Amino acid sequence: MDNKISCQLSPWNKQHEEGIHQIASAGYSACEIGSNILLSHRQKLSLFSEKLKRRKLSVSSVFELGHFENWQDRRRIYYHHDFLSKVMSQCDINYIILSPGIRRSRNPDLQYVKNMLKMITEINKRYEYRGIRVGIHPHLGSSIFTSDQINYLLENISYDIDLVPDIGHLTEAGVDVFELINKNISRIRHIHLKDVIYQPNYKKLSPLQKRRNTEFCELGKGQFNLINLIKLIKSLNYQEWFVVELENPSSPLNEAAINGIEYLKKILGSDEIKTINYNGR
């Protein structure tokens, strides 16, 4: 079975049509879109779907903020997710990736955490009702970021909710990416791929410090051991989505999209599985 490779449409900003054209021309079978893109076409969904179909592209997922900590405004947030799930179902899009949203408390008490978990459960119900699967994306600046936070989340939410690992954000948090993916592969259906450049004194800095530990960049342009990571994922018989991100591209977006898919396919096409380095570097 061929691996499923998608590319984020968001780097093209409002130039959606150009982005769709360039992603398709680069050889991707799908794109990941932000909810803002989908909702901006809500009055002409059939036209948007036709644009994708014409380029032989599908939508692998929609990316949205969950706002899991905004308990006071939960009813409005539930309504928004209910509405978004309805629009997604009209386009036959069956996967949503939720970033937790901005961290509102640095020292949450037990009730605060319980409220956040309840919001995740309630939001998931809105999508589950329409046959849409939810994946949670640990993110820089959110309350689901570090290894302990991710492990706690996975232990306390429904097994039907997935984990969406992002190589850049996990590395920024100091997470052992190899161990996390190896341990949770059964809960992973989308993996966000980017490379990273380590900043000076990387090992000495706390993941919660304001100073960044890494700089995100294109696949193959950084220092993360992507080759061994992808080979590990391949050895685990992963057959779900790889999502290429075009972070801080050093070339025009159309060229960066081509470089990303070619880099990934070259690794996926190799039958040689090297010794896995669980240090991730």
Q: What is the mean pLDDT of the chain?
A: 91
Burial class (CB in 10 A: 0-12, 13-18, 19+), 198: middle
Q: What is the predicted pLDDT for the residue at 185? A: 98
Helix, strand, or coil (residue 125): helix
Name the amino acid, one letter, at 191.
I
Q: Does pLDDT of 208 surpass 70? A: no
Residue 104 has what pLDDT? 82
Q: In the predicted model, is pLDDT for residue 109 greater than 90?
A: no
Q: What is the pLDDT of residue 280?
A: 41
Give pLDDT, residue 201: 62
Is residue 72 in a domain?
A: yes
Average pLDDT of span 211-218: 88
Expressed in percent and rounded to 5, the helix, strand and coil fractions of the chain are 45, 15, 40
> Does residue 150 contact residue 180 with C-beta atoms inside 8 Å?
yes
Q: How many CA atoms lie within 13 A of 80 on its CB side?
A: 15
3-state secondary structure of 113: helix
Question: Which string of b and e fits 209-237 if b means at least 16 CB within 10 Å?
Answer: eeeebbbbbbbbbbebbbebbbbbbbeee
Mean pLDDT of 85-102: 97
Residue 63 lies in a domain: yes
Specify if 277 maps to a domain: no
Structural domain contains residue 280:
no
pTM of the predicted model as reported, rounded to 2 decimal places:
0.91
pLDDT per position as a tens digit, 52-63? 999 999 999 999
Q: Residue 160's domain spans which residues?
A: 4-269
Q: How confident is the model at residue 202 (pLDDT cuts 50, 70, 90)?
A: low
Cβ pair 242, 3 in contact under 8 A? yes
Q: What's 212's domain CATH number? A: 3.20.20.150
pLDDT of residue 274: 42
Alpha-carbon distance of 24 to 91, in angstroms, equals 19
> How would residue 11 be classed by pLDDT, with cut points 50, 70 and 90?
very high
Q: What percent of the chain has pLDDT over 90?
A: 83
Rounded average pLDDT over 277-281: 39
Q: Is residue 71 part of a domain?
A: yes
**Cβ proximity of 13 and 41 under 8 Å:** no
pLDDT tens digits, one per residue of 219-251: 999 999 999 999 999 999 999 999 999 988 989
pLDDT at 86 over 80: yes
Residue pair 12/253 in contact by the 8 Å Cβ criterion: yes
Is 94 a member of any domain? Answer: yes
pLDDT value at residue 245? 97
Give me the number of domains the chain comprises.
1
pLDDT at 105 (0 to 100): 79
pLDDT tens-digit map of 140-185: 989 999 999 999 999 999 999 999 999 999 999 999 999 999 999 9
Phi-psi region of 151 (alpha: psi -120 to 50; beta: other; left: phi over 0): alpha
